[in-house]
Chain A
Amino acid sequence: MTGQHPLADIDPIIHASARLMILTYLYVVESADYVFIMNMTGLTWGNLATHLNKLEEAGYIEILKTFKGKKPHTSLRMTETGRTAFQTYKKTMQQVLGDLQD
């Protein structure tokens, strides 16, 4: 959608506040587990699961389900595609907000 208004370039997958929070934390760490992201973002289990599925479908994160002993353990990691998309989103938003005059 280049050539249009910069707002049109904003990635709708990232532009939801919950997903932006998730990606912010996953961007600054190498990987984190489900409980950690839940604590950091304050999202509920179900809500987080919904957003993570959308991010995984977009290829922005990887979800790895394993077992630690008898307990299930979900590990989350941002993909390179996700990192690039997050950086692009950040740049676009800075440009859009910078262009907004009082």
Chain B
Amino acid sequence: MQEPINLKSAERKAFQTNVADGLWDVFIGCFLLELAFAPFLSKFMGDFWSSFIFLPFFGLVYLAIYLVRKNVVAPRIGTFKYGKPRQKKLMVFTIIMVVLNLVIFLLGLIAYFIFDKFSNGFLMGALLGILIMVGFSAAAYFLEYPRLYLYGSLIMLAPLLGEWLYTYHGASHHGYPIVFGPIAGFMILIGLITFARLLKNHPEIEIPEGE
């Protein structure tokens, strides 16, 4: 055998097949597209509807990813059910993400009703960036998905950079389209390259006759 036997690394290797297809990169990238494009639509549709209109789009992307994973990825790399320690770890991750989302939601409400009167965009951008980084770091750690550290860092800096472009260079919509558009494109591109590599390296396995 070429590698030493290590149960932890074996489990990690098995678990990491979950993100080996790059499709989650595409999905998260599509989420960011909303931040890039919704500001343009808000002029015509208002803040609520310009965001709400993306829900069917996310639904379609999720459905497409589900079908591709089921019909294209699974026959190539197989499927497995998590062991108990991993299930516990994912439960902790779910709780962290629920709490974090509640915090973000509450801060959003505070910002909308009170905070905005005596604050500025930089403070809100920094706060949002830090919370996003916490979320992405937690996801990177619990999901064994190191690329999320990079994505989290880029997304953390994006609101601040956008605000800077808006304040000092007159970029429209707090600079969101300029900063989130390329990040979304980068993530989707990474995802698609990863997916293409998976297809190349893992051809569909022919099941022998009689099996």
Contact = CB atoms under 8 A, between A and B. Distances in A.
A contact residues, range: 20 to 34
B77 A29 contact: no
B207 A40 contact: no
Interface string B1-41: 10001010011011001000000000000000000000000
B117 interface: no
Contacts of B75: 35, 71
Contacts of B42: none
A86 B81 CA distance: 19
Contacts of A36: 14, 17, 77-80
B136 to A, nearest CB: 26
Greatest chain B CB density within 10 A among A20, A29, A72 is at A29
Contacts of A61: none
Nearest to B12: A28
B83 A28 contact: yes
Nearest to A37: B78
A46 interface: yes
A94 B120 CA distance: 62
Contact of A29 (B5, B76, B82, B202): B82
B135 to A, nearest CB: 27
Nearest to B81: A30
Nearest to B13: A40
Interface string A25-37: 1011111111111
B84 interface: yes
B205 interface: yes
A33 B207 CA distance: 13
Contacts, number: 73
Interface residues of B, number: 24
Contacts of B77: 35-36, 39
A29 B80 contact: yes
A40 B13 CA distance: 8
B78 A31 contact: no
Contacts of B5: 20-21, 24
A30 B76 contact: no
A17 B2 CA distance: 11
B56 interface: no
Interface string A65-83: 0000001101000000000
Contacts of B81: 29-32
Given A27-B7, A30-B80, A35-B75, 6 more contacts: A17-B1, A21-B5, A24-B7, A30-B82, A31-B80, A32-B80
22 contacts: A21-B1, A25-B10, A27-B10, A28-B7, A29-B83, A30-B81, A30-B83, A32-B79, A33-B79, A33-B80, A34-B78, A35-B74, A35-B75, A35-B76, A35-B79, A36-B17, A36-B79, A39-B202, A40-B13, A45-B207, A49-B211, A71-B207
Interface of A: 17, 20-21, 24-25, 27-40, 45-46, 49, 71-72, 74
